[in-house]
Amino acid sequence: MVKPTKVTNSIRAVREAAGVTQAELARRVGVTRQTLIAIEQGRYSPTLELAFQLSRAFGVGLDDLFDYPEE
C-alpha cells in the first residue's frame, strides 16, 4: 500500500535552524503535530497547498524545502 516516493524534504533541518518547535510549526500551517512528524519523516507527502504553506512559514522557496532528484 505504501508506495515509495522520491520526494525528500529538509523541513526538520530548516525548522531546527529557525528554532521552531514541531507544535509551533504545525499550528502555523494548520495541521496536527503528528502530520508534521509524518511529513518530516517522509511518511506522508503533503499536498501542494501545504507544501507552499510550509515554505512560506520559513520564508523560503519550495525548492529549498523539498527535493525531487533528477532521473
Partner 1 sequence: MVYEERNIWASLIASVVGVAVYVILVLQQAAGGPLTDVDWVPLMLWTIGGSIVAAIVISIVWGILAGMRDPDGVGTSDQRDRDISAMSGRVGQAFTVIAGLGVIVLCAFEADWFWIANCMFFGFAVSSIVGGIASVIAYRRGLL
Q: How far is the CB of 64 from partner 1 (least distance, A)?
A: 21
Of the pair 5, 13, the CB lying nearest partner 1 is at 5
Q: Which residues pair with 67 in a beta bridge?
A: 8
Write the CA distances from 59 to 32, 40, 53, 62, 64, integer angstroms.
21, 18, 10, 10, 10
Q: Which is nearer to partner 1, 12 or 17 (CB)?
A: 12
Residue 48: Cβ within 10 Å count: 9
Binding-site ranges for partner 1 (CB under 8 A): 1-5, 23, 27, 30-35, 38, 41-47, 49-50
**Nearest residue (CB) to partner 1, 37 versus 60:** 37
